[in-house]
Structure 1
Amino acid sequence: MDTPPPANDEQPAESDYNRRRRELVELESECRASDEDLAEAIAERERIERSFAAEIERLAGIEANAIERRARARQRLADRLAQTTGATVTWQA
């Protein structure tokens, strides 16, 4: 795009060259702005994905703790029933 302008004796062509050059500069500027917008959007999406991943991990931890508490409570109940009645209790998932 760095083609020199036409000879000075071609005034209308030089004007056309300058106009086209200005249009190219404007388009390049628009492209850079679009690139920046895209980079910002990607960064925001990645931030949201990390946030969701952290929340999913937190909820998975809560779920795992609840499952463990339930298993311990069932085992205590089975042990208590075995002590008081002699019955054997098995839990199905």
Structure 2
Amino acid sequence: IYNNLRSAIGAFALQDQRMAQKVIDQKEYIDSLEIKLRKSHINRLNIGVELSQKTSGVHLDLINILKRINDHSFSIAQAVTGKL
């Protein structure tokens, strides 16, 4: 996500369509990673991992925030490539 954000900003600054396309190409992978992280967290809750229960809100908030950052990176990349 950090690399996508850096690439999106760089692509915007340089109007580099290839760099922007690399960010766009990562969207599906990042989306699948989000699902995997959520499922993993739910599984830990279901088996009763105490620490996961105590930090569940923070964990889910962090996933949401990182997803939003990546979605913004994706939107920037789409704008650079003219796909927005």
TM superposition score normalised by structure 1: 0.36
The answer to which structure has the higher helix fraction is 2
Structure with more contact order per residue of length (Cα contacts < 8 Å, sep ≥ 6): 2
